[in-house]
Structure 1
Amino acid sequence: MKRFTALLFSIFILSSCAELQQVVSQLPQGGDVLSNADIASGLRQALDFGIDKQVTKLTQEDGFFKNELVKILLPEELQKVDKTLRDIGLSSLADEGLKVLNRAAEDAVKEATPIFVDAVKGITFNDAKNILLGDNNEATEYLAIKTQSALYDKFNPVIANSFQKVGADQIWENLINRYNNIPFTNNVNPDLTDYVTGEALKGVYTMIAVEEKEIRTKISSRTTDLLRKVFALQD
């Protein structure tokens, strides 16, 4: 909520569109001045590239599980389950428990693209102005504000179904039961569907932020004329 409030406040204090247009007009563009629509289109294009390049990777097998930036680990209350099982020689069971959590996230992310596309289409010039002059992950933060609630609603049932499809329910029931039957341990039973949903969302925004930072900080990553012109404004 604080981030959203800061976003609105930033838009309010950045004066009029003329401020950024004055900056634009000072760029060496052979007499061509970027329009408000061009600037908004450039931000949309950058986000579209991030979604296409990075989010698609997460939908592949091991897209989460073998990506250390987003790999889903156990929630804190289950880390003791993992350690205890490994300590008594059940590492393979613990590994399988981790894998199915990540498989569920990989399934869920396939539902994300249409929601992102709608959010990107809605970027206005005022949005673009604030994003362009913001931090290296400003566009990603904007996207998170616009999509997080809808993505959670999409991801949650997919993850629940995926748990059933890949046998995660059985694996975790077996894993937790084995742990709970160990003498002198306290029983655990976390809501894994909610936990994995939240971690999948974090993973999606993390990978979009990776691409956004590339475009902002590396001219070689600006692969179209529009991206080069628009992001020259923040160099």
Structure 2
Amino acid sequence: MIKRTLFVLSIALLASSCDTLSNLVTSVYSEPTTAEIGSGLKSALEIGIGKGSDALSQIDGYFKSPYKILLPEEARKITAKLKNVPGFSDLENVILEKINRGAEDAAKKAKPIFVSAITEMTFSDALNILMGQSDAATQYLQQKTNEQLYQEFNPVIIESLDKFQARKVWSDAVAVYNKIPLINKANPDLGDYVTREALKGMFGMVAKEEQNIRTNVSARTSDLLRKVFAKQDKK
């Protein structure tokens, strides 16, 4: 009698476990709701932005990475001409390090700006992004927020450049360069250029993480992400 009772209990527990597993599988792989798609995409973007801004804000995050900010062509012409001028022989390397350090410093403040923009994404936008191109979310973020981010980011970049005296070094160099006869005068302001290059690198990191979460199943670290991106996998 006892054996029979234990057998019946075992069967009941097994059936219950199977039902739980079945419900879990159904929950993860069933068609996501519009609200779930919106939440899933926002979560994915926040993951990408978090990783991207954290990585770029580290020492050498820009300076020794694929997103290193290089001098514009006009600037390289200036550094080349000033190599033989006392005090400016290593100007290019000095400026390169300083502008990248400035961008790394500014990147620390980028995350909340991006996250704030993500929260404004509508459910309709989210569905179109999910079923769009592999970088559709990043494109959306650029189109909707790039100029706003610029306005927020530029003062931080300028403050950071000044913190490392990058603009002063550059301005001094341009002042010397502009005294050379028969040359086109150079713009001494690096702020705009560095800001746009820094944002380009930030969006590049976001795109990289978006691509990863779209194609790498193991990067979908929650049931919600797995459910939402399973819909994308079927398209």
TM band (smaller chain): 0.7 to 0.9
Q: Is the 2:63–2:69 Cα contact (8 Å) retained in structure 1?
A: yes
Which of 80, 99, 102 pairs up with 2:77?
Answer: 80
Name the counterpart of 2:101.
Answer: 103
Question: How far apart are 1:132 and its partner, in Å?
Answer: 0.6
Unaligned runs of 5+ in 2: 1-23
Q: How many residues align?
A: 207
Question: How far apart are 1:34 and its partner, in Å?
Answer: 1.9
CA distance in 1, matches of 2:141, 2:124: 15
Q: Is the 2:31–2:227 Cα contact (8 Å) retained in structure 1?
A: no
| Aligned ranges 1:39-58 → 2 under 5 Å | 39-58=37-56
Partner amino acid, structure 2, of 1:105: A
What is the TM-score with the length of structure 1 in the denominator? Answer: 0.78
- Does the residue aligned with 1:30 lie in a helix, a strand or coil? helix
Partner amino acid, structure 1, of 2:109: E
Cα offsets for 1:152-178 (capped at 9, x unmatched): 111111222222221113311333345
Unaligned runs of 5+ in 1: 1-27
Greater C-alpha radius of gyration: 2
Q: Is the 2:170–2:188 Cα contact (8 Å) retained in structure 1?
A: no
Question: How far apart are 1:108 and its partner, in Å?
Answer: 2.1
Cα offsets for 1:182-233 (capped at 9, x unmatched): 6765442243111111111111111100100011112122222221221111
- Does the residue aligned with 1:62 lie in a helix, a strand or coil? coil
CA distance in 2, matches of 1:38, 1:78: 48
Partner amino acid, structure 1, of 2:212: E
Percentage of matched positions with identical amino acids: 50
Cα offsets for 1:82-136 (capped at 9, x unmatched): 3344588966321011111112222222222222222222222211111011111
Q: Is the 2:44–2:210 Cα contact (8 Å) retained in structure 1?
A: yes
Q: What CA RMSD, in Å, does the superposition of the two structures yield over aligned residues? A: 2.4
Which of 218, 221, 227 pairs up with 1:220?
Answer: 218
- Does the residue aligned with 2:77 lie in a helix, a strand or coil? helix
Q: Is the 2:117–2:145 Cα contact (8 Å) retained in structure 1?
A: yes
